[in-house]
Chains A and B, each alone.
Chain A
Amino acid sequence: MLDAKGKFVANAALASRKDVRDAVVAARKAFGPWAGRTAYNRGQVVYRIAEVMEDRRPQFEDAVRQSEGASAAAARAQVDAAVDRLVWYAGWADKLAQVIGNANPVAGPFFNHTAPEPTGVVGVLAPQSSSLLGLVSVVAPVIVTGNVAVVVSSYDRPLPAVTFSEVLATSDVPGGVVNILTGDAAVLGPWLAAHMDVNAIDLSGVAGSADLATSLEVAAADNLKRVRRAPDAEPDWAAEPGLAAMTDFVEQKTVWHPIGI
């Protein structure tokens, strides 16, 4: 990988199709236990990622500066925002169900309620430009809702993702919950989109590549993956995210039971 001025920084692993498949296997194995944890616990785990990241703040600032050619102030601001973003999502773990789920007043003697549940294994093509804030903004909503992720990092700017992987490995995130591959979304995306054991895919990383995004959506239709579409251009990740990144990857389960004595 090169820095913003084209100077050699380090060699990053170039993930292959086989790596994608292995990551999906690891993710599937992790899904049940992760989804089964209490929302309180998942929130704590995500919050802990933010804490560990905060501890390694200088390293992240350097990584962002090198990758994006950002000024020191801009890199600092991006790391700030990334930490805040994780904390923001951490808090959603035990609140989302209260905001988007509800009891249903049906016309009959039934207990009836609807609550969100994770969709499963989510393939995430992380944003290409925003190497850290963008990455955190697409990974956090997936895992805080109980999903597990197979992430393809920014191709040209993988350094913050590598550092982020080290944070995940040394915080409380169980193995397999987040799998990060450094590589090319255009190469790995088709395998993820066509993988029959992947339940959803976030196409943020192919923003602006309409043809590629369309072909990935077509591939995703084979098992009716939930798709978060690629935007026309990479959005401003500093803006308040809203709920969509979470609601795109949850199902709503409705349970009925008769009421009686």
Chain B
Amino acid sequence: MASFEYAPAPESRSIVDIKPSYGLFVDGEFVDGRGTSFKTINPATEETLAEVAEASEADVDLAVRAARRAFRGWSRMSGKERAKYLFRIARIIQERGRELAVLESIDNGKPIKESRDVDVPVVAAHFFYYAGWADKLSYAGLGPSPQPLGVAGQVIPWNFPLLMLAWKVAPALACGNTVVLKPAETTPLTALLFAEICQQADLPPGVVNIVTGAGGTGQAVVSHPDVDKVAFTGSTDVGKAIARAVAGSSKKVTLELGGKAANVVFDDAPIDQAVEGIVGGIFFNQGHVCCAGSRLLVQESVADEVLSRLKRRMGTLRVGDPLDKNTDIGAINSSEQLARIRELSDIGESEGAERWAPACELPSSGFWFPPTVFTGVTQAHRIAREEVFGPVLSVLTFRTPAEAIEKANNTPYGLSAGVWTEKGSRILHMASQLRAGVVWANTFNKFDPASPFGGYKESGYGREGGRQGLAAYLKEAEA
């Protein structure tokens, strides 16, 4: 196989112009923050990319005020006018797609083939999809004349920085809300480029405000008394803290939290396709995916075969430079996340599970973790219960469909699940029994703006995407 080694095929980063420092985007302008600043780095090289303002409580307050002022005009604008802005933003995203993809890969560490072929196209698709809703809200099944909520405070994670922005911003704007968005501390750059896109699209000032910062800034956004709607994607612990923080208020909340998805493979599954699905399910985006298929439940009779094919396939995964078009697995987003993945993996070993990773050379600088599989995992093991949020797969086995359902549902999470079998009636039975918001059957990790996404149980509440995603940003007209 060595004779078929790929030559390096790096994507040029010259298309992206990263400024040495960035301010906040408030009321249509970039402004200096009143707080301190922090560095965002390239996780593949640890090189400092830019200094970014850390928005203070006062900065957040200014942003919320700007959003409140803008709400008046934006909410009263006709839906078809709002739609035009969203269509225009979608078009600019497509036009500047390469720039966005390269910047996303630099700041996040994800492979360019994913930022280019998944993140950015789906981002544009979200703006197109919700643009089309802006003038059809009365047909959304939420009453004859649904009204926007007001100012939406949105806090998003670092695993899909631009995609999560699109999931939050597009429906909010389509419904006539205005937005104060806080991108993740380690990945603020594409959100700031999106701010430029808002300027380029002539979006009215204050409709979108972007405040960079860490947890404190996010807290200020979520708990601001003049925020009407809170949307958060991130960890379950933070989600619970937000649910407590908004208790007793009239803020509407949607939470998109962690997951520990079961990917269930039956003995009649098309094994090669299933292996591809297992690999995509856990190693896509370095496993930094809340709906990652991190628990493989494989029927005992085919476990050996599935595992040997899986290991062979894992041996062909290329780990390295995110900007190389041949790269399958990029850099872990931060040293903190790498430490967490290492810690949980070590615990996996110490609790008796067997660890395996293909031989692969990791770059000397940056944050890296090889694709890893644990076998001999039981339901009590921490690697089977806790979200690793990295390229680490736990393998469990089952004998009967009932046992598969029991094990799959044995988690406080309920975001997603996978089923692999050629038997249609079994797929539909499993799909109905799995307590998860999204069930992928004979496929995995598929996303589309028309398709609602969200969790059961401690994976959060509310849905994003589709017609159901509008419910998070609308209320019935008051009499």
A interface residues, Cβ below 8 angstroms from B: 99-100, 102, 104-108, 110, 112, 114, 117, 119, 199, 210-211, 213-215, 217-218, 220-224, 226, 242, 247, 251-258
Contact = CB atoms under 8 A, between A and B. Distances in A.
Contacts of B441: 255-257
Nearest to A216: B247
B431 interface: yes
Given A106-B448, A252-B452, A224 B257 contact: yes
A226 B442 CA distance: 31
A254 B451 contact: yes
B123 interface: no
Contact of A224 (B248, B453, B458): B458
Contact of B439 (A100, A211, A215, A256): A256
B438 interface: yes
B137 to A, nearest CB: 16
Most chain B beta carbons < 10 A, residue from A102, A221, A226 = A221
Could you say which of A102, A210, A211 has the most chain B C-beta atoms within 10 Å of its C-beta? A102
Contacts of B236: 224
A199 B457 contact: yes
Interface stretch (B71-79, B352-360, B460-468): B460-468
B239 interface: yes
B243 A220 contact: yes
A116 B257 CA distance: 20
Contact of B431 (A217, A247, A255): A255
Interface in B442-478: 442-443, 446, 448, 450-454, 456-458, 460-461, 463, 466-468, 471, 476
Interface of B: 125, 141, 143, 236, 239-241, 243-244, 247-248, 255, 257, 412, 427, 431-432, 436-443, 446, 448, 450-454, 456-458, 460-461, 463, 466-468, 471, 476
B446 A108 contact: yes
A222 B441 CA distance: 31
Contacts of B141: 99-100
Contacts of B239: 224
14 contacts: A104-B450, A114-B466, A213-B248, A217-B244, A218-B248, A221-B240, A224-B257, A247-B471, A253-B438, A254-B466, A255-B431, A255-B438, A256-B443, A257-B443
Nearest to A119: B456
A251 B441 CA distance: 19
Contacts of A213: 248
Contacts of B450: 104-107, 112
B451 A252 contact: no
A224 B244 contact: no
A102 B467 contact: yes
B442 A252 contact: no
B468 A114 contact: yes
Nearest to A101: B468
Contacts of B432: 117
Contacts of B436: 253
A253 B412 CA distance: 17
Contacts of A242: 143, 476
Contacts of A224: 236, 239-240, 243, 255, 257, 457-458, 460-461
A217 B244 CA distance: 7
A56 B448 CA distance: 52
B448 A107 contact: yes
B247 A221 contact: yes
A213 B463 CA distance: 25
Given A210-B248, A253-B439, 8 more contacts: A104-B450, A108-B446, A114-B468, A220-B247, A223-B458, A224-B243, A252-B452, A256-B451
A210 to B, nearest CB: 6
B443 A217 contact: no
A37 to B, nearest CB: 12
A199 B409 CA distance: 14
A110 B447 CA distance: 11
B58 to A, nearest CB: 27
B453 A214 contact: no
A256 B446 contact: yes
A255 B439 contact: yes
Contacts of A114: 451-452, 466, 468
A234 B432 CA distance: 37
Contact of A251 (B125, B431, B456, B476): B456
Contacts of A106: 446, 448, 450-451
B452 A221 contact: no
Contact of B240 (A222, A252, A256): A222
B280 to A, nearest CB: 13
B179 to A, nearest CB: 23
A247 B248 CA distance: 20
B276 to A, nearest CB: 12
